[in-house]
Amino acid sequence: MAIKTFTTGEVLTASDTNTYLANSGLTYITQVTQTSGANLDITSCFSATYDAYRIVCTDLRLSAAALISATLLVGSTPAAANITWASTRFDYAANAWNFAKGTTDTFVRGVSVGTVTNAGGFIFDVINPNLPQRTVVQAVGTDPRGTTGYMIINTNGLIENTTAYNGLRLFVDSAPTYVNMKATVYGYRIS
């Protein structure tokens, strides 16, 4: 949609307002809260309506410090092949960068850390999850442990297949479980 320019004294009609407000920014899709268990599945959150999505996770608290990762779902079945990821983390205590990569069933590896007392959080963009082409992700997270944790966490992922995914699983990498986390999914408007 072309951007309309209004001039001084021109009347902004209800039609213009509705059109331009409805066709910009992010669209809320769903919000899920998890208070127990090791997996948070958000089913039916991706569709053909949007090509790209933003997931915002807040108030991430776990029963013990652990990393959170993600994978995509078809129904309740996680992606299991043709996945590549890479992660960059700055370890505050060691004053050093850590780099990791892998080809596992994890789409976004170790994007955030949660503890019982300090809430972590992260955001990530998923591009093409429901289209019959490669799906990519860019994630940025935090570690609430401060000077004993990772101050910057960046992860990229790629699924090299033509599967149309319709859901997302956020899971704890090891034994701890969720105490709380709120995940909100938005779609990027196309026009």
Predicted confidence (pLDDT) at residue 2 exceeds the cutoff of 60: no
User: How far apart (Å, rounded) are the C-alpha atoms in residues 72 and 185?
Assistant: 13
pLDDT of residue 112: 76
pLDDT of residue 81: 82
Predicted confidence (pLDDT) at residue 1 exceeds the cutoff of 60: no
3-state secondary structure of 121: strand
Structural domains in the chain plus CATH codes: 28-188 (2.60.120)
Query: Dihedral of CA 45/177/142/86: which sign?
Result: negative
Angle 74-66-143 from CA coordinates, rounded to 5°: 100
pLDDT tens-digit map of 81-124: 888 888 888 888 889 998 888 887 667 777 777 788 888 889 99
Q: Pairing mode, if any, of strands 66-74 and 167-172?
A: antiparallel
Find, among 126, 145, 143, the residue nearest to 135 by Cα: 126
pLDDT of residue 126: 96
User: Please, are residues 173 and 67 in contact by the beta-carbon 8 Å criterion?
Assistant: yes
Find, among 23, 189, 44, 26, the residue nearest to 123 by Cα: 26
pLDDT confidence band for 153 (50 / 70 / 90): confident
